[in-house]
C-alpha cells in the first residue's frame, strides 16, 4: 500500500523554544523557508536553522527516515538526531507522541527507512542557532561533464 502524504505539508515554527512541527509531506525547502521567515519575524534576523540536506524538493519525512545527512551534520549531527518528538499513527489508528509510543519505538523510527512502525504524521525537530559569522566555499569544475 502507498499512502500519499505530500499534502500534509504544514510547518509550524516556535522561535522562542527553537523547535518546529513539520508534517511528513513538507519539503526541506518548505521547512527552510518557514524557519527563516518565522525567526526573521520574531527576531529581526534569521537566527535559527534546520540541519538537513541540500535538495529542497525532498520531503522532510523521508529525509529523516533515512537519517537526514546534510551540510551541517558534522557540526550539528543528523536531522534524525535532532528530532525531539514525533506523531505516529499506529496500526490501530491511534495517534502517539514520543511518550505514548515509548523510547524504543521513538529511537527506531528515526533512521529505520520507514514504514515498519506505523505512519509518521509529523516530526518535531530542534532548530539550531546560526552563528554570526558563516564561511562559504565554492569550487568551479572545468572540463565538461563528469
For 12-39, the pLDDT digits (tens) are 999 989 999 999 999 999 999 999 999 8
All domains in the chain, ordered by first residue? 11-129 (3.30.465.10)
Is the pLDDT confidence value at 106 over 90? yes
> What gap in Å lies between CA 82 and CA 88, rounded to an integer?
17
Per-residue pLDDT at 96: 97
108-127: average pLDDT: 85
Q: Could you tell me which residues come within 8 angstroms of residue 12 by beta carbon, excluding any fewer than 6 positions away?
A: 20, 21, 34
pTM here? 0.85
Q: Could you tell me which residues come within 8 angstroms of residue 110 by beta carbon, excluding any fewer than 6 positions away?
A: 64, 67, 80, 81, 83, 86
Is the pLDDT confidence value at 83 over 60? yes
> What gap in Å lies between CA 94 and CA 90, rounded to an integer?
6
> What gap in Å lies between CA 48 and CA 25, rounded to an integer?
21
Is the pLDDT confidence value at 9 over 70? yes
Per-residue pLDDT at 3: 84
Is the pLDDT confidence value at 146 over 70? no
> What gap in Å lies between CA 139 and CA 137, rounded to an integer?
7
* Residue the block writes with cell 535538495: 55
Percentages helix, strand, coil for the chain (3-state, rounded to 5) are 25, 20, 50
68-87: average pLDDT: 93
| pLDDT tens digits along 33-74 | 999 999 877 777 678 999 999 999 999 998 998 899 998 899
> What gap in Å lies between CA 23 and CA 55, rounded to an integer?
17
Spell 80-94 as b/e; 16+ CB within 10 A means b.
bbbbebbbbeeeeee
DSSP state, residue 115: S
Per-residue pLDDT at 99: 98
Amino acid at each position: 500500500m502507498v499512502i500519499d502524504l505530500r499534502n500534509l505539508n504544514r510547518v509550524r515554527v516556535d522561535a522562542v523554544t527553537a523547535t518546529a512541527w513539520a508534517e511528513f509531506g513538507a519539503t526541506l525547502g518548505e521547512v527552510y523557508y518557514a524557519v527563516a521567515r518565522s525567526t526573521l519575524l520574531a527576531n529581526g534576523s534569521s537566527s535559527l536553522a534546520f540541519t538537513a540536506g541540500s535538495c529542497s524538493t525532498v520531503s522532510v519525512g523521508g529525509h529523516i527516515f533515512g537519517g537526514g545527512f546534510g551540510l551541517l551534520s558534522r557540526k550539528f549531527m543528523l536531522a534524525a538526531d535532532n528530532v525531539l518528538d514525533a506523531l505516529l499513527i499506529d496500526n490501530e489508528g491511534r495517534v502517539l507522541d514520543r511518550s505514548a509510543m515509548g523510547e524504543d519505538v521513538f529511537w527506531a523510527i528515526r533512521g529505520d527507512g520507514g514504514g515498519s512502525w506505523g505512519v509518521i504524521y509529523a516530526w518535531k525537530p530542534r532548530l539550531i542557532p546560526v552563528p554570526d559569522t558563516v564561511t562559504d566555499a565554492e569550487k568551479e569544475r572545468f572540463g565538461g561533464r563528469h
